[in-house]
Every structure is written in structure tokens, then in C-alpha cells.
Chain A
Amino acid sequence: KQEVTQIPAALSVPEGENLVLNCSFTDSAIYNLQWFRQDPGKGLTSLLLIQSSQREQTSGRLNASLDKSSGRSTLYIAASQPGDSATYLCAVPNNAGNMLTFGGGTRLMVKP
């Protein structure tokens, strides 16, 4: 059974810092990996999706990398802003590619 772990569980940084969120998964036979953002009391917003054949994806200040062989992904946030404060979740699909298993999330607080 796939297990997804995120470290750290919570992170508080001053504005402007570059930061790295970590995600690890136990079964490396994945089709893709997604990073989501969730604001308090809100639904999920998809940030980045990395296919299994890719090593990284970039969107603005966000960069996600994927190392399937080691079962790891990182989400890099450059020049963090208070508006980046949210919970960040990584998720991988099951073998059929139609259901996601989520990590526990990293709660990020960026202080002005």
C-alpha cells in the first residue's frame, strides 16, 4: 500500500526566504506526482503535476522535482511571500491512475 509522507509538518519563515518542502512515497511505480495548495477552510488548488518521465516542473516561483528511484519529491518556493501561507499537499495516484493518496501536508506560514 502506497504511503506518502511530508516533512516538515509545519514551517514558519520570514518573508523573502527560499524554502523547500519534502515529500516521500514508498512505492516508486507512480504515473505522476501532484502538489496542491489548500487555504484554510478551502478546497484544493493544483499547483504542479510532474509526470513519471519528468524530473521537474516549474510555475512562477514554484519548482517541483521528482526522483522516482528514491521515492522523493521536493517543492521549492523562491522568495516566499505572506500570500504563500497555506498548507501544501503532495499526492500520487494508484496503479489505475484514478485515485490519489495524499501526504499529511506541510503548513507554511510566511511572516511579513
Chain B
Amino acid sequence: GAVVSQHPSWVICKSGTSVKIECRSLDFQATTMFWYRQFPKQSLMLMATSNEGSKATYEQGVEKDKFLINHASLTLSTLTVTSAHPEDSSFYICSPSGPQIGQYFGPGTRLTVL
């Protein structure tokens, strides 16, 4: 199956810090990248969808200026949580997708904001 990596897998930061999460599809080209977050004991919630080379589309209630998404290449996408606050603490999961490939999921990044 397809290999997807996320880095870092776990990060703790102080309130006000910006954190960048990388997602790489190691053996396929992802034309679309989905970013999800998951709060404790809840299911995954889609945050945004981005197509390579285009601006991301954000779901209702997700601040685009706070969660910056870059999808500059077919194998790399980044999510930057700007000026993180404790309520941003969550499990962030990327999901690269491509035509006839289906949808795969990264291992997730656990963000804890103190």
C-alpha cells in the first residue's frame, strides 16, 4: 500500500508559537491533500482540502489565516498552525489522494499547546 509520512509525530509548544506539520506521500503523487483534525474521543473532522498548486478550501469554522496550508508539490504538503493556543491542541492527520489511487492517511501529528 501507499506510504504516507508526517513530521513531527508529536510536538509540544508554548502558546503563541507557530508549528509546521509536514506530510509526504513517499511513493505516489497526491493531486489532492485533505487535512483532518481529531479531538479526544471524537471522530475526524475535515479542516481543508487543497489541490496541488492551488489555494486550499477551508471548511466552515476553520480559520484560513490561522491554519496555513501549502501544497506546492505532488509529494509534499504542509499545515502551519499560527500563534497556537491550547484550544488548538489536537491530533492532525493528513490524507493525500489522487485519481485512481484512492485516499490514504498519514500517521498523524499530536499537537499539545501549553
A residues with a Cβ closer than 8 A to B are 36, 41-44, 46, 89, 93, 98-105, 107
Contacts and interface: CB of A to CB of B under 8 A. Distances in A.
B97 A102 contact: no
Interface of B: 1, 6, 32, 34, 41-44, 46, 49, 91, 93, 95, 97, 103, 105-108, 110
Contacts, number: 40
B42 to A, nearest CB: 7
A93 B32 CA distance: 14
Given A44-B93, A105-B43, 11 more contacts: A36-B105, A41-B91, A41-B110, A42-B107, A43-B93, A46-B1, A93-B103, A99-B97, A100-B95, A100-B103, A101-B46
A102 B103 CA distance: 13
A99 B49 CA distance: 9
Contacts of B49: 99
A20 to B, nearest CB: 19
B42 A104 contact: yes
Identify which of A41, A98, A102 gathers the most chain B CB atoms within 10 Å of its CB.
A98
A80 to B, nearest CB: 21
Contacts of A43: 6, 93, 105-108
